[in-house]
Amino acid sequence: MEEEDPVTEEAVDEAQDRLDRLGIHDQVKAGDVFPGQWAPVLSRSAAGAVRFFPMRWGYTGKKLLINARSETADKLPTFADSFLNRRCLIPFSWYYEWGETEEGKVPFAIRPEEEGRFFLAGLYRFEPGEKLPRFTVLTRDAAPQIAFVHPRMPVILPEKLRGDWLRAGADVHSLFALAEKLSLSAVQYGAIQEAIGRVRRMEILFDRVSDALRNRPECLAQDEETRRALETLTEYLDSGTWQSDYELDEKGRLPRDLKRGVLSQDGLYDLISSVQ
């Protein structure tokens, strides 16, 4: 089952439209978002409607405050008022964290193991001289499954808790307790990038063999390029690499817009069988 992407095109368009109408000539980011950039952030309007607004990541201070500890945010002057009155949610597919490996530090892509839409729990505030608010992400102790990567992690909330998180007077600490029940997984980011490149290459070969079978089946035996493509696809299906790519896709680690016919085991097996 394909995971629903929480960062929808409509969400980005809605936030971008608000930015444009204020005459701020900048871009709302839909993919990788870095501190200081604009992101589509879910919060309540003054009228109480839940909408996506453009917000810049990081409270200003001696340094950009991109995180706030959930254990103490309600007690610190910098965050206490936001904690009580201005909570928000940042949609994400996964987040990245650097961790130590035998090869040195490498980035890991981390997200809940469950399917569905998830959000980072955040706070926001308006700052002097700025037309739109800034947000910061709340953090907690890392879940046991990913503590080997980093001792801290963002507070992650599932879709079903978004209304409670944004509701005035919510029991925030009980929501933190529910958030701790989520199971997470971490995959080396390099492995994901390698899988994306591999699936794209295999998809080209898949299309080449499919096209040859459909349009010139009588020439397959003499078509050296197509025969090599078929051999590569057969090796891919028989290897553990195909299974690894398939599992990454099932867990929502591969981009939604990635062409992935080659990851259909029946489709790939049927194609190979029809030629042999």
Q: Given this model, what pLDDT does residue 1 score?
A: 25
- CA–CA distance from 217 to each of 222, 228, 260, 276 (Å)? 10, 15, 24, 12
The separation between the first and the last C-alpha atoms of the chain, rounded to the nearest angstrom, is: 30
Q: What are the structural domains of the chain?
A: 9-182 (3.90.1680.10), 189-275 (no CATH)
pLDDT in tens, the chain (276 residues): 233 445 567 788 889 998 999 999 899 987 788 999 999 999 998 888 899 999 999 999 899 999 999 999 999 999 999 999 999 999 988 888 988 877 778 888 888 888 778 899 999 999 999 999 999 999 999 999 999 999 999 999 999 999 999 998 899 999 999 999 988 888 777 788 888 889 999 999 888 888 877 766 565 556 678 788 888 988 888 888 899 888 888 877 787 778 888 898 778 877 777 766
DSSP H helical segments within 77-188, as ranges?
A: 80-85, 162-166, 172-179
d(CA 112, CA 115): 8
Task: Determine if residue 58 is left, alpha or beta; phi over 0 gives left, psi from -120 to 50 gives alpha, anything else beta.
Answer: left
pLDDT tens digits along 193-243: 888 889 999 999 888 888 877 766 565 556 678 788 888 988 888 888 899
d(CA 156, CA 92): 10
Q: Given this model, what pLDDT does residue 5 score?
A: 46
